[in-house]
Amino acid sequence: MTKRIIYGPILSRRLGRSLGIDVIKTSDTKKNCNFDCVYCQLGHVLKKITGTNDVKGTVTPEEVIEDLRCYHKNIEDLEYITFSGTCEPTLNPELGEMIRGIKKISSHPVCVITNSSLVDKEKIRENLSEADLVVATLVSGYEETFMAINRPADGIILENIINGLKEIKKMDKRPILGIEVMLVDSNIDFPVNHTEREIEKLKETLIEIDPDEIEILTVSRPPAENYIIPVPEDRLKEIATEFEKVFGKERVKLVLKGIKRSRSKMKHVNIEEEIYDLIMRRPCTFKQISVSLGINDKELKVIIDRFLSSKSIKEITAGEKKYYKINR
């Protein structure tokens, strides 16, 4: 199937019902990124992109607006329009123009989910300033832990990321700045980031950045590396309490597994493509697909069985749950 620009809506633990936009359309790789995070739900990056000049297959603002103009009107209960998907959105240099165009045709708030890799560059910060919300990843205040968990392309260092995030907060025109603290545990000897030493350094670093929001979460889908496992919920709650003492309850969000929401109220144009596009961006359980796209179980089972038979998708198990992902 052709990889489409618009996908979803996705039922997000953080943003509610969020319609996704993927701004790099290269179809010969499962993701386009300058990180190779050990926890990534899309698996390994076969070839890390070094910067915006290294990107092939960028989506244009005109393509985004044309696709969005019709698609978002088919969803009655949409809460966000979000740049994410199979790529790092800031790798597309026209991101700011895309956001400006979206705001001309939609009243929904726009979020950019970024790995923070390029925020040290002024042009990237200008692009991000057009969004209503930026959710930027920060896994550690230590360079060695950052390198182990995010596995960035050559030339990306933690100090530049921290300085770039601090500059976003100083901008006259700026988005709400949220920092996503993705915490990981491991079943092998690996530099995990939920120890007391790591948490103390993260607090120090976040005091410097001074974000509007801090989101604390752990892996909830099958990660790229099978030695990465979720941080126990009790530990997450302990860490959230520590952060609340420093930053206040209103700024700290503990994002736990499981959202109970009604099915999306959505008019479908091509259900099979919508399901495939959703699974392409993130492995999903049967229930997650059903609720996100508003498809009844009987109809969805027929389509899933067809995809499995054709080997377009495959079923994997993580913990006690079964997920569907693209078969590549």
Domain boundaries, the chain: 6-254, 271-326
The Cα-based distances of 89 to 52, 59, 82, 151, 265 in angstroms read 10, 10, 10, 18, 27
DSSP state letters, 310-326: TTSEEEEEETTEEEEEE
Q: Would you write out the chain's pLDDT as a tens digit for each of its 328 residues?
A: 556 788 888 877 778 888 999 998 765 567 889 999 999 988 888 888 888 888 888 899 999 999 888 775 666 678 899 999 889 999 999 999 999 999 999 999 999 999 999 999 999 999 999 999 999 999 999 999 999 999 999 999 999 999 999 999 999 999 999 999 999 999 999 999 999 999 999 999 999 999 999 999 999 888 999 999 999 999 999 999 999 999 999 999 999 865 554 444 555 667 787 787 777 777 878 887 887 777 888 888 888 888 888 888 888 877 778 888 877 6
**Residue 1 confidence (pLDDT):** 54
The length of the chain is 328
The Cα-based distances of 36 to 6, 41, 50, 248, 305 in angstroms read 24, 11, 12, 32, 31
**Residue 29 confidence (pLDDT):** 63
**Residue 230 confidence (pLDDT):** 95
DSSP-derived 3-state class of residue 126: helix
**H-only helix segments in the chain:** 61-71, 95-105, 122-128, 143-150, 158-170, 196-209, 233-247, 271-281, 286-293, 297-309
| Whole-prediction pTM | 0.84
Dihedral class, residue 8 (left if φ above 0, else alpha if ψ from -120 to 50, else beta): left
271-326: CATH topology is: Arc Repressor Mutant, subunit A (1.10.10)
Architecture label for domain 6-254: Alpha-Beta Barrel (3.20)
DSSP-derived 3-state class of residue 12: strand
Given a contact cutoff of 8 angstroms between Cβ atoms, the answer to whether 91 and 32 are in contact is: yes
Residue 309 per-residue DSSP state: H
